[in-house]
Amino acid sequence: MQRSAHPPVEWLVSRGLVPYATACAFMGERVDAIAAGAARELVWLLEHPPLYTAGTSARPADLLDPGRFPVHNSGRGGQFTYHGPGQRVGYVMLDVGRRFGDVRAYVAALEALIVDALAQVGVGAETLAGHVGVWVPRQEPGADQTHDKIAAIGVRLRRWVSSHGLSVNVAPDLEHFSGIVPCGIADAGATSLARLGVPAGLDELDGALRAAFERRFGPTCEAETSTTAAVADALAPA
């Protein structure tokens, strides 16, 4: 558990669907400001419209339906993933160098955070050796694949400050995952809280994520007025 005397991390939840390019532009500016000591660390929770993102290791053959949704090259680690309504995306902008000094330790901490949060809403999730992300045992007896993925992780570091982060399937359209090979794993299934019969929605998961974050990373605070104003400006129609 990574606890230390760091200032509280700002916490912001955006309602509605946030365009992917807009979110990435804001993250880039915020990462630079954090690295320069001009802004505090931030966790930003949001939803995107349906889209696919390609990480730095994405293989073109894993995009099975290229015309289905917009495809964005993300700059994060990992391969293809899907984002869409009903999925909680968490963009985590932290000084990883100061907090961890090691990217693998940071990714492991994000995985543990999600496992902790899902336990709070009644889901027994786990990590799998050799696969980044968070998984749950498959319910169907006799299935070849023993686990389904409920949460993905993909991070990017610039000047040791992180961007991108995590996504947790609350109640997305799981059929949308069929347009890609998720995270490059051909036989991996995707699941969600809704598919598992768990009634928790976005708000309940958000509370669980924040409580787990505070236990594992340290205190949070509501986003400052300057942060909410910057996000509002970024989201305003041109």
pLDDT tens track for 124-164: 999 999 889 999 998 766 556 688 999 999 999 999 999 99
Classify strands 9-17 and 71-73 as parallel, antiparallel or unpaired: unpaired
Across 47-56, 138-147, 218-227, least confident range? 138-147
CATH number for the domain spanning 155: value is 3.30.930.10
* Residue 237 maps to a domain: no
Active site residue 221: no
Asked if residue 4 is part of any domain, the answer here is no
The 3-class SS string of 127-173 reads EECCEEEEEEECCCCCCCCCEEEEEEEEEEEECCEEEEEEEEECCCC
> What pLDDT is attached to residue 124?
96
Closest CA relative to residue 151, chosen from 130, 127, 184, 175: 127
Contact by Cβ (8 Å): 43, 92 = yes
Domain that holds residue 225: 9-232
Of 36, 34, 52, 54, the residue nearest 44 (C-alpha): 34
Task: With a cut of 60, say whether residue 33 has pLDDT above it.
Answer: yes
Based on the structure, what is the number of domains in the chain? 1
pLDDT tens for each residue of 155-198: 999 999 999 999 999 999 999 999 998 765 655 689 999 999 99
Q: Is the pLDDT of residue 123 over 90?
A: yes
**High-pLDDT (> 70) share of the chain, %:** 93
pLDDT score of 97? 96
**Could you tell me the pLDDT band of residue 111, with boundaries at 50, 70 and 90?**
very high
Q: Is the pLDDT of residue 3 over 60?
A: no
Q: Which of 117, 153, 183, 190 is catalytic?
A: 183
The answer to whether position 188 is within a domain reads yes
Residue 1 lies in a domain: no
Contact 180, 64 (CB under 8 A): yes
User: Is residue 2 situated within a structural domain?
Assistant: no
Least confident of 71-80, 98-107, 153-162: 71-80
44 in any annotated domain: yes
Whether 3 is covered by a domain: the verdict is no
HEC string of the chain equals CCCCCCCCEEEEEEEEECCHHHHHHHHHHHHHHHHCCCCCCEEEEEECCCEEEECCCCCHHHECCCCCCCEEECCCCCCEEEECCCEEEEEEECEHHHHCCCHHHHHHHHHHHHHHHHHHCCCCCEEECCEEEEEEECCCCCCCCCEEEEEEEEEEEECCEEEEEEEEECCCCHHHHHHECHHHCCCCEECCCCCCCCCCCHHHHHHHHHHHHHHHCCCEEECCHHHHHHHHHHHCCC
φ/ψ (deg, to 5) at 148:
-115, 150
Per-residue model confidence (pLDDT) at position 138? 85
